[in-house]
Amino acid sequence: MNVLNITDQLPLVCETPLDLHFLAINAQEAAAAFIAAGTAANTVRSYRSALAYWSAWLQLRYGQALGAAALPSTVAVQFVVDHLARPTDDGGWVHLLPPTIDAALVAARVKAKLGPLAYNTVSHRLAVLGKWHRINGWDSPTEAPALKTLLREARKALSRQGVSVRKKTAIALEPLQALLATCTDGVRGVRDRALLLTAWSGGGRRRSEVVGLQVCDVRRLNADTWLYALGTTKTDTGGLRREKPLRGPAAQALAAWLEVAPAESGPLFRRLYKGGKVGTQGLSADQVARIVQRRAQLAGLDGDWAAHSLRSGFVTEAGRQGVPLGEVMAMTEHRSVTTVMGYFQAGSLLSSQASQLLGPAVGATTSAEKI
């Protein structure tokens, strides 16, 4: 496929001035479609920035508004070659986004800096565009075979050049234990220990799900078991309450937190103030990520840590311990087997006999201990 000849349906203009007021309204209207479809609020916030970028790029590149009609697949292909850098024969890298448009996107504050975007960022923005088309009842341009081939080849090219598609480091059992060992700093440590164990042991909860938990969502069955209820989540927008178990250390940690921070209602995990005073306001999703990162730093762990590390780590550890995939997905509520399998298989292979045909080296540290 010659990616330089892909604009046969819409001409490139590259000279359209960017109307920031129109950009904001256009992106907001697009985000409203997700809200009307019942998409979780935290997800809509993530999608809104992607839609703002699409709106700005379309104005500048094609002189076209987002939402006027379904976009052809050639536009999605152009988006990829504009934003993904590819290696050249002379050892350099090139992408097709004109410098004037790049600068305008940065000036409009929809792009952080000049230059190409990461593969994960491009993939996310294409996914948002595809979902937005489906919500509007249009054929998605992201389903075109040419686009999927281009993305596959782009990923291979990046891999051959030593550029990996970044994933957050999974918090399997050993890193989790290291994080928990830092939770000795009074009330803050009690809260963080309960939060980490609830999110991890409770099925690898997303950060939006953690901060959305209310005191009334948890109930104690016995000294070793609590149940917590999920309502609306990223993949289940029906609002039907589903209870998940917290057993052993997770149940004990939650009991300890509610003992030092008793409440009849309100957010389960709340902000702390000077002197360890517990407030009434709940944590934000970003604060959950910062708690993970802070504890990893205190534990001296190398890696790219985030709130998602708890979710991927739960699945990885379940694979290591041979938990059936169906039981894992019942806890995590993943809808897509493809999404969960990467982490699950990585964990299961660590305990596979096929990886130990030569036997462990004397005095060696196993791969599982390094996760």
What's the pLDDT tens digit per position in 312-326? 999 999 988 989 989
- Does pLDDT of 330 surpass 70? yes
SS3 state of residue 106: helix
Range list for CATH 1.10.150.130 in the chain:
20-160
Q: How far is CA 371 from the centre of its chain?
A: 20
- Does pLDDT of 148 surpass 50? yes
Under the banding of pLDDT at 50, 70 and 90, the label for residue 289 is: very high
Average pLDDT (103-114) is 91
Under the banding of pLDDT at 50, 70 and 90, the label for residue 155 is: confident
> For all residues of the chain together, what is the average pLDDT?
83
Q: What is the pLDDT of residue 368?
A: 42
Task: Kindly tell me the burial class for residue 227, based on how many C-beta atoms sit within 10 Å of its own C-beta (0-12, 13-18, 19 or more).
Answer: middle
Under the banding of pLDDT at 50, 70 and 90, the label for residue 230 is: confident
Q: What is the pLDDT of residue 313?
A: 92
- Does pLDDT of 308 surpass 50? yes
For 173-356, the fitting CATH number among 1.10.443.10, 3.30.465.10, 1.20.120.160, 3.40.190.10 is 1.10.443.10
Under the banding of pLDDT at 50, 70 and 90, the label for residue 20 is: low
Under the banding of pLDDT at 50, 70 and 90, the label for residue 250 is: very high
Contacts by 121-130, CB closer than 8 A, 24 or more apart: 121/83, 122/79, 122/80, 122/83, 122/84, 123/151, 124/50, 125/50, 125/53, 125/54, 125/79, 126/76, 126/79, 126/80, 126/151, 128/47, 128/50, 128/51, 128/54, 129/50, 129/54, 129/71, 129/76
For 20-160, the fitting CATH number among 1.10.150.130, 1.20.1260.10, 1.10.10.60, 3.40.50.620 is 1.10.150.130
Range list for CATH 1.10.443.10 in the chain:
173-356
Minimal CA–CA distance to 20: which of 125, 109, 97?
109
What's the pLDDT tens digit per position in 235-246? 555 556 789 999
Q: For 28-32, 117-121, 164-168, 169-173, which range has the lowest pLDDT when averaged over its residues?
A: 164-168
CA dihedral 312, 318, 322, 326 (to 10 degrees): -90
- Does pLDDT of 12 surpass 90? no
Minimal CA–CA distance to 170: which of 337, 6, 12, 296?
296
Q: What is the pLDDT of residue 32?
A: 79
The pTM score is 0.65
Q: In the chain, what percentage of residues exceed pLDDT 70? A: 83
Q: Which residue has the higher pLDDT, 261 or 87?
A: 261
What's the pLDDT tens digit per position in 192-217? 999 999 999 999 999 989 999 999 99
